[in-house]
Structure 1
Amino acid sequence: MSAEMISRRAFAGGIAALAFARRAGAQGYAGLGVTADGFPPVTPGKVFSFPTDHGPHPEFRIEWWYLTANLTDGSGAACGLQWTLFRQATRPGPQGEGWANQQVWMGHAAVTRADTHRFSELFARGGVGQAGVHAKPFMAWIDNWEMKGSERTDDRILAPLTLKASGSDFSYALTLEADRPVVLQGDGGYSRKSERGQASYYYSQPFFRARGTLTLDDKAVDVSGRAWMDREWSSQPLSPDQTGWDWFSLHLPNDDKLMLYRLRQNDGRENLFGNWIGPDGRSVEIAAPGNSLTPLAMTEIDGRRLPTSWRVNLPAHGFAIETTPLNPRSWMGTGFSYWEGPIRFTGTHNGVGYLELTGY
């Protein structure tokens, strides 16, 4: 296949995705609050099945495979990596063949250090082989970026995997290992987003151990650390009056994990959700009236004021921390722009994690 043909396909996919974003943008971040008429709803009680649910769910409108990694190099310097594949259906109904397929794919990759944040973005159309996901053997790809399993990959654990991506001034290649099954978020994988029925199916693999190579400006370094993968799919994950979210994935001492997010509404109200995940993989919702997320410091980027440092308080868990970004200017200036970067935290618990801010 010629480079010219790939370029044309990527361009066509990008135009389609951005046009959809403009049509939908008035209803929540990235149009995720648009009414999902014709798409199936997310309902409680789903029985997850692996490897099938590692693969795509094209009948739903929105889906992603989302990995972040907190790493250090040989000198002990911290860095972060992101690899994300998004799928979005532009219309409901039977899947079209070839270029008539209604799936649009988008990939984001990023590298963050204290002194730099670099990112890249790819677009693709469904139905022509340029992007997609296979459940078994597991493989998610867009152009030459890929998250890939092998004959050794355990379907319950979704490991081991290899991961690679590149931009004009960076690249990385990682091996991901884990020894515990994936974890269902929310209530048995049913993750509420509002009191009006918006929800997603959501599970994670928060126990990845990552090792590999990061290359910046043609200089390669070995890196290692921890990684976290999120899987979500939905037809309408936000209500029309929800503007965005502030999302945390935290690696705690003793291998506990915490996923926490708040969804912001136009009227100033907030909805706070999350799960505490024990070292054994047991996942418990942490909904409680005393839980709070409080911005501590703001960063101005491209005319936006973003809360990049936070106080997190979960009284029932004896949990009170303050977070600090590795690089407060970790702005993803992509078609759907947002802030995403590694953080560290101190307080009753010390550790590292990732923060995502959308809708600002």
Structure 2
Amino acid sequence: MRPFLRSRLAALLLAPILALAGCGEAPPTGSGAGFAGLGESAEGYAQARPGTPLRFPEDHGAHPDYRIEWWYLTANLEDQAGEPLGLQWTLFRQALVPPQARPAPEEWVADQLWMAHLAVSRGERHAVAERFARSHSADPGEGNAGQAGAVAQPFRAWLDDWTLATRVEDPDADTFERLTLTAFDGEGQERVGYRLELTAEGPLVLHGDAGFSQKSADGQGSMYVSQPFWRVEGEVVLAGETHAVSGQGWLDREWSSQLLGPEQAGWDWFSLHLEDGHRLMAFQLRGGGEAGGDYRSGTWITPAGEPRALAPEELALTPLATSSVAGREVPTRWRLEVPAAGLDLIVEAPHAERWMATTVPYWEGEVVARDHATGAPLGLGYLEMTGY
């Protein structure tokens, strides 16, 4: 579940952006409802609901009638010497007004705000960059114009020169099956980024109820699709040094208008590539469950890409140890149990310093999964934690 997930940026940042965009008043300076305001009322926006049909390739592109949306890639890689690296690239879209309140296309006004995050991790190093842009929903970036946008066919999602784009030339083929990601920031010894080729070796996975992922006992949620079968190859630059890398990636697509309930303070989200070919997505939203407890959900994915939705009672997520990160105590060692899949895992971050010191800060980093009883390694993945 995603995230990037950053539906309300800090008011001090939004105020000048909105002023430049001509969108009137900035949001109130209060903390809003739920993490980053994701529990605020979404009246006037399209709502994610069970039974909403998903259509591809159309749904690879933007959904401006919904308030929030993201394209979210994480990857566990190795360089030529076998040294592990982790990376993240996320493009977030935030609608500033409901569809019926949009400015006319001829007005020089933006109604969509975009944010992108880049991160590369290797050992104790963790480099992060962030960018912002704006657009008008009447101009989705046709002809690859505009500072930021996302179009479905041929697929391209971008902010400035940070671009996730198709490598498929056949206009009748699925142009989401082979992608190139290019994103760099800084110069010299501060240079960080990557140019990667992503090749899908399995199908898209629809989470929850045919793509509707419930996020609380009250029923609100998101449309949620993943591509957990990326083979990744390319080059990563960190501290000015270039590394040839290869490994596996996971890309989440999620769009919603009211992702959380107002009482939900944040979440813990796991994506795991297991050595036997299975994949697992599991999340816990703190609050919003029955009788005030936490709300859990997940998807168990076979090596062939067949998903099995996991109900809240089929998952157990227990923090076992915390680390002091950026002045916060963050759980970086977990027990994750899925009895129906025969899983009892210890999931641990080898390096705790994976704090994303972005406008809305959070923790995101690589994790290792081991068998709880024997300690045998069972897989790799990523963990995201918000609201700490």
Q: When the two structures are superposed, what TM-score results if normalisation uses the length of structure 2?
A: 0.85
Residues 325 and 21 (structure 1 numbering): CA distance in 2 closer, same or farther, change over 3 Å? farther
* Kept after mapping to 2: 8 A contact 1:13/1:125: no
Percent identity over paired residues: 45
Conserved in 1, the CA contact under 8 Å of 2:286 and 2:294? yes
**Partner Cα distance (1:15, 1:269) in 2:** 39
Secondary structure, in 3 states, of the residue corresponding to 1:30?
A: helix
Mean Cα deviation higher: 249-258 or 24-33: 24-33
Which residue of 1 is the match for residue 124 of structure 2? 115
Q: Aligned equivalents of 2:185 and 2:326: distance in 1?
A: 22
Q: Give the 5 Å matches for 1:14-29.
A: 15-16=16-17, 23=29, 25-29=31-35
Asked if the contact 1:157/1:205 (under 8 Å) is kept, the reply is no
Aligned residue number for residue 178 of structure 2: 160
Show the 5 A alignment for 1:140-159.
140-152=157-169, 156=174, 158-159=176-177
Deviation at 1:17, TM superposition (A): 7.6
Partner of 1:283: 307
Deviation at 1:157, TM superposition (A): 7.5
Classify 1:15/1:353 alpha carbon distance in 2 versus 1 (closer, same or farther; 3 Å). Answer: farther
CA distance, structure 2, for counterparts of residue 309 and residue 79 of structure 1 = 19
Instruction: Tell me the SS of whatever aligns to 2:276.
Output: helix
Number of residue pairs matched? 350
Instruction: Determine helix, strand or coil for the equivalent of 2:59.
Output: helix
Say whether the 8 Å CA contact 2:96–2:112 is kept in structure 1: yes
The verdict on how the C-alpha distance between 1:219 and 1:189 changes in structure 2, with shifts beyond 3 A counting, is: same
Q: Measure the CA separation in 2 of the matches of 1:247 and 1:322.
A: 15
Cα distance change, pair 99–81 in 1 and its aligned pair in 2 (3 A): farther
Structure 1, unpaired ranges of 5+: 1-10
Amino acid of the structure 2 residue aligned with 1:59: D
Cα 1:239–1:257 change in 2 (3 A) is same
1:103 matched to which residue of 2? 112
Question: In structure 2, how many angstroms separate the alpha carbons of the residues matched to 1:340 and 1:173?
Answer: 21
**Which residue of 2 is the match for residue 178 of structure 1?**
200
1:5 is matched with none
Task: List per-residue Cα deviations over 1:286-317 (Å, max 9, x = no partner).
Answer: 11525210111111123211111111011121
* Separation in 2, partners of 1:283, 1:21: 39
Name the residue aligned to 1:355: 383
TM-score by length of 1: 0.91
Q: Does the CA contact (< 8 Å) of 1:147 and 1:162 recur in 2? A: yes
Q: CA deviation at 1:326?
A: 3.2
Given the alignment of the two structures, is residue 34 of structure 1 paired with residue 18 of structure 2, yes or no? no
Q: Secondary structure at 2:340's aligned position in 1?
A: helix
Unaligned runs of 5+ in 2: 1-11, 20-24, 140-145
- Report the counterpart of residue 74 of structure 1 in structure 2: 80
The match for 2:243 among 218, 221, 241 is: 221
Point out the more displaced range, 87-96 or 214-223: 87-96
- Deviation of 1:22 (Å): 5.9
2:350 aligns to what?
Answer: 326
Aligned-partner SS, 2:99: coil
- Equivalent residue for 1:7? none
Q: Which runs of at least 4 in structure 1 moved beyond 2 Å after TM superposition?
A: 11-26, 94-99, 150-157, 288-291
CA positional deviation for 1:152: 4.0
CA-atom RMSD in angstroms = 2.3
Matched, 1:54 2:60: yes
Deviations along 1:179-216, one digit per CA (max 9) or x if unpaired, are: 32211011110100011121100000000000000112
Aligned 8 A contact 1:13 1:105 in 2 = no
